[in-house]
Amino acid sequence: MNTPAWFAAARSRLLLLAIVLLANVLVAPGFLEVRLVDGRLFGGIIDILNRGAPVMLLAVGMAPVIATRGIDLSVGAVMAIAGAVAAATVNAGHAWPVAILAALGTGLACGLWNGVLVTIFRMQPIVATLILMVAGRGIAQMITQGRVLTFTDAGLAGVSSASLLGLPLPVLLALAAAIGTGLLVRGTALGLFIESVGTSPRAARLAGVPAPALLIGVYVWSGLMAALAGLIATADIRGADANNAGLWLELDAILAVVIGGTSLYGGRFSIGLSVLGALILQGMRTCILRSGLPPELNLLLMAVVVALVLVVQSPACGPVLARMTARLTRRGTA
Amino acid sequence: MRLDARTLPLLITVGVFILLYAACAVQFPAMLGTRVIGNLLTDNAFLGVLAVGMTFVILSGGIDLSVGAVMGFTTVALAVMIEGAGLHPLVAFTIVLAGGALFGCGVGAAIHWLKAPPFIVTLTAMFLARGAALLLSTDSIPVRHGFYQTLSGLSLSLPGGGRLGLIALLMLLAFLAGGVLLHFTRAGLKVYALGGNSRFAGLMGIDTGRTTILVYGFSSTMAGLAGIIFSLYTRSGYALTGVGVELDAIAAVVIGGTLLSGGVGGMAGSLIGVLIQGLILTWITFDGSLSSWWTKIAIGMLLFIFIGLQRLILHFSAPTGRTG
């Protein structure tokens, strides 16, 4: 692994994010202002971070899964289940910490189910997680009995509305998860092991990497992150909406990871770049919403961005682009 | 008889369908009537047509997430062309089918030339088609053309009071044509070869690029046909039509015994897969006391059982059959 390649990858994503933020400034001149009101920061950037928090969390869980050449389609449904469990628990008269633990435990169990299907039953990840994606929303609806399960517990609602050091709690949770996961996989050999399983499961096994435990681990982690995102989504509306909570967010998370430069064929991944990808997506969405353009444009814009990333990353164009960049940088330094 | 990875899943699927249908019939004798069968085929016609295209894609080792969005786009495009521009429905049908074919070929070309995973390319295509449909119109547009009334009225009377509508016949025709194309032509063989192992297929002299492009082109054409069927079914066009039906189509194909890894499966199973899903829905409607979420849970459980069975069969037949 050479540092310049990593740096170039980060630079291009930061450039993309800068363009998106610039577009935001153009449509809303006061976008970059950050004000402190009642001990909490407000402003465009904070708004993007806050609204992007669920997808950031999902992307943090999804990146290691994709690095093992897997995919987790169930995260949106897990969000709905976790939210439903949390709302049902506080409504049953339990305290909010119990509800949060119950929701996180549910996410853990969902991830374990996915991991066992992929590892022990040797199902393809896309089918294994499709099962929970289809059935999971049904389970969430069963818990809420098909209604939006509202609650009044201030503690549980605080997951979304509380703030610390001026930053909204969802932002802190997402950043903490990203930094924690990043340190875990890059501070230890864990990240390298995950990448080795994705690059060549056989070679990884021969090298003594405990692939099954690792695979179950990444799916459990993804389930846990999804449960956290589900808690935020539920606290946000003070109710569990089994039909809409996290709907299609698995696709956003996968796109964020792909924009972050991780190949769906497994291998090298980056938590930081995946989080940047989630922020780019959220920045685009906010920009379209603020500009007053039809929100449908966002889908087209997302398609264009992903298409660009695919073209740049494709084996056919990659070398050509790399040579061009190399020539440009040489000219720049000369 | 040895366990065969190719025929056994189909037999199990047929067995499950018969058992399920028998269970339904015992509880509600009315479900044996041709009226229910006619409705089962008519209500699931669009899903069946999508499953025909999806069977090809999955057998070739790919996946197509864009079909629901292409179907939605088609219904809006039809409504806009017929009601807005005053085109004759037949002209509009031709345009959307050709457009669907072109779109799919573009998707296939992107998958082949960019060497990108089908999942992410077709996901991009899904955003593109859904976004374009919403740009055309965010409202549901009714189609009042006289020709639509005529087409909707066409039906084949079955003994026992049931009716097989035009769209149900179209679906059966699509399955028949797809089955012949897949199982009795060289093109079908190429799809199997591509799904079995694309590198070996290339080494055997199969033009993998051309096959990939045609497979996705076919799938999108079928999605266009499904859009026409849905448009006839609801006599309207709405951009959010068919959100998530790609998952139902994938589930139908998988329940029908086709392996998602490609190369193994067939067309007949997909039809049964569609009918099993339709039957569960009909059962829940008949029962009345079961809530709608049981549909999703039941389909999830069926997926689990079928894929688990396939794994077992592959495991036991590995010494004689294919590996991986």
Here the CATH number for the domain that contains residue B216 is: 1.10.3470
Q: Where are the alpha helices (DSSP H) in B29-156?
A: 34-43, 45-59, 67-79, 89-114, 118-136, 146-153
Contacts of B117 in chain A (CB under 8 A): 263-265
b or e along B66-81 (b: 16 or more beta carbons within 10 Å of the residue's beta carbon)? bbbbbbbbbbbbbbbb
Helix axes B67-79, B89-114, angle to 10 degrees: 150
Are B236 and B142 a contacting pair, CB within 8 Å?
A: yes
Residue B236 DSSP one-character state: E
Contacts of B115 in chain A (CB under 8 A): 314-316
Residues B11-32 have pLDDT tens digits of: 888 988 998 899 888 988 888 8
Count A/B contacts: CB-CB distance under 8 Å: 128
For an interface test with A, the pick among B65, B113, B123, B312 (most A C-beta atoms closer than 10 Å) comes out as B123
* The pLDDT value given to residue A147: 87
* The pLDDT value given to residue A2: 47
CB contact under 8 A, A122 and B311: yes
Q: Give backbone dihedrals phi and psi of B237, rounded to 5 degrees, phi first.
A: -125, 130
Residue B264 DSSP one-character state: -
CB contact under 8 A, A126 and B132: no
What's the pLDDT band for A1 if we cut at 50, 70, 90? very low
Distance from the Cα of B154 to chain A's closest Cα (Å) equals: 35
Distance from the Cα of B303 to chain A's closest Cα (Å) equals: 6
Of A127, A134, A313, nearest to B299 by CB-CB distance is A134
* The pLDDT value given to residue B32: 81
Domain count, chain B: 1
CB contact under 8 A, B297 and A130: no
Percent of chain A scored above 90 by pLDDT? 49
* The pLDDT value given to residue A121: 85
Report the length, in residues, of chain A.
Answer: 334
Distance from the Cα of B157 to chain A's closest Cα (Å) equals: 36
Contacts of A300 in chain B (CB under 8 A): 127-128, 131-132, 135
Percent of chain A scored above 70 by pLDDT? 94
CB contact under 8 A, A138 and B300: yes
Mean pLDDT of A209-222: 93
Contacts of B293 in chain A (CB under 8 A): 137-139, 141-142, 146, 242
* The pLDDT value given to residue B317: 65
* The pLDDT value given to residue B1: 41
Residues B138-181 have pLDDT tens digits of: 889 998 888 888 888 788 877 777 788 899 999 999 999 999 99
Residue B165 domain flag: yes
What's the pLDDT band for A4 if we cut at 50, 70, 90? low
Residues A98-135 have pLDDT tens digits of: 999 999 999 999 999 999 999 988 888 988 999 999 89
- Between residues A236 and A201, which one has the greater pLDDT? A236
Contacts of A299 in chain B (CB under 8 A): 127-128, 130-131, 134
* The pLDDT value given to residue B283: 85
Residues A142-179 have pLDDT tens digits of: 999 888 999 998 889 988 888 888 889 999 999 999 99
A121 vs B29: CA distance, rounded Å? 39
A104-108, A188-192, A326-330, B30-34: least confidently modelled range: A326-330
b or e along A260-285 (b: 16 or more beta carbons within 10 Å of the residue's beta carbon)? bbbbbebbbbbbbbbbbbbbbbbbbb
CB contact under 8 A, A142 and B291: yes
Q: Is the pLDDT of residue B124 over 50?
A: yes
CB contact under 8 A, A258 and B297: no
What's the pLDDT band for B320 if we cut at 50, 70, 90? very low
Contacts of B301 in chain A (CB under 8 A): 135
Residue B323 domain flag: no
Are A198 and A211 a contacting pair, CB within 8 Å?
A: no
Q: In chain B, positions 23-62, which contact chain A (CB-CB < 8 Å)?
A: none
The one-letter amino acid code at A248 reads: W
One-character DSSP codes across B134-197:
HHH-SS-EE---HHHHHHHH-EEEPTTS-EEEHHHHHHHHHHHHHHHHHHHSHHHHHHHHHHH-
Q: How many CA atoms lie within 13 A of B110 on its CB side?
A: 26
CB contact under 8 A, B132 and A123: no
B309 vs B303: CA distance, rounded Å? 10
β-pairing verdict for A148-150 and A239-241 = antiparallel
Contacts of A316 in chain B (CB under 8 A): 113-115
Q: Give backbone dihedrals phi and psi of A76, rounded to 5 degrees, phi first.
A: -65, -45
Compute CA distances A332 → A10, A14, A279, A308, whole Å: 19, 20, 30, 25
A90 vs A101: CA distance, rounded Å? 11
Of B115, B131, B297, nearest to A299 by CB-CB distance is B131
Please indicate if any CB of chain A lies within 8 Å of the CB of B135: yes
Tokens 């709905």 -> residue: A80
Q: Is the pLDDT of residue B74 over 80?
A: yes
Q: Is the pLDDT of residue A46 over 60?
A: yes
* The pLDDT value given to residue B261: 83
A94 vs B100: CA distance, rounded Å? 54
Residue B1 domain flag: no
B146 vs A173: CA distance, rounded Å? 58
**Longest CA span, chain A:** 70
* The pLDDT value given to residue B324: 39
Mean residue pLDDT of chain B comes to 88
CB contact under 8 A, B292 and A146: yes
- Chain A nearest-CA residue for B128: A300
Mean pLDDT of B230-239: 91
A319-328, B108-117, B130-139: least confidently modelled range: A319-328
Percent of chain B scored above 70 by pLDDT? 95
- Chain A nearest-CA residue for B132: A300
- Chain B nearest-CA residue for A242: B293
- Chain A nearest-CA residue for B115: A314
CB contact under 8 A, A296 and B294: no
Q: Is the pLDDT of residue B217 over 50?
A: yes
Residues B200-209 have pLDDT tens digits of: 888 888 899 9
What's the pLDDT band for A315 if we cut at 50, 70, 90? confident
Compute CA distances A296 → A22, B128, B227, whole Å: 21, 10, 20
Please indicate if any CB of chain A lies within 8 Å of the CB of B260: yes
* The pLDDT value given to residue B54: 96
* The pLDDT value given to residue B109: 95
* The pLDDT value given to residue B34: 84
Are A64 and A291 a contacting pair, CB within 8 Å?
A: no
Residue B41 domain flag: yes
CB contact under 8 A, A123 and B307: yes
Of B116, B125, B300, nearest to A131 by CB-CB distance is B300
Helix/strand/coil (H, E, C) string of chain A? CCHHHHHHHHHHHHHHHHHHHHHHHHHCHHHHCEEEECCEEEEHHHHHHHHHHHHHHHHHHHHHHHHCCCCCCCHHHHHHHHHHHHHHHHHCCCCHHHHHHHHHHHHHHHHHHHHHHHHCCCCCHHHHHHHHHHHHHHHHHHHHCCCEEECCCHHHHHHHHCEECCEEHHHHHHHHHHHHHHHHHHHCCHHHHHHHHHHCHHHHHHCCCCHHHHHHHHHHHHHHHHHHHHHHHHHHHCEEECCCCCCCHHHHHHHHHHHCCCCCCCCCCCHHHHHHHHHHHHHHHHHHHHHCCCCCHHHHHHHHHHHHHHHHHCCCCHHHHHHHHHHHHHHHHC
Q: What domain range is B47 assigned to? A: 8-317
Helix axes A125-144, A96-119, angle to 10 degrees: 150
Percent of chain B scored above 90 by pLDDT? 51
* The pLDDT value given to residue B295: 82
CB contact under 8 A, B123 and A126: no
Are B131 and A299 a contacting pair, CB within 8 Å?
A: yes
CB contact under 8 A, B115 and A316: yes
Contacts of A294 in chain B (CB under 8 A): 134-135, 138
Tokens 């465009």 -> residue: A44
CB contact under 8 A, A315 and B115: yes
- Our CA angle for A77, B54, A138, nearest 5°, is 20
Q: How many CA atoms lie within 13 A of A181 on its CB side?
A: 30
Of A127, A134, A254, nearest to B296 by CB-CB distance is A134
- Chain B nearest-CA residue for A71: B119
Q: Is the pLDDT of residue B38 over 70?
A: yes
- Between residues A96 and A121, which one has the greater pLDDT? A96
Please indicate if any CB of chain A lies within 8 Å of the CB of B194: no
* The pLDDT value given to residue B321: 42
Asked if the ipTM is above 0.85, the reply is: no
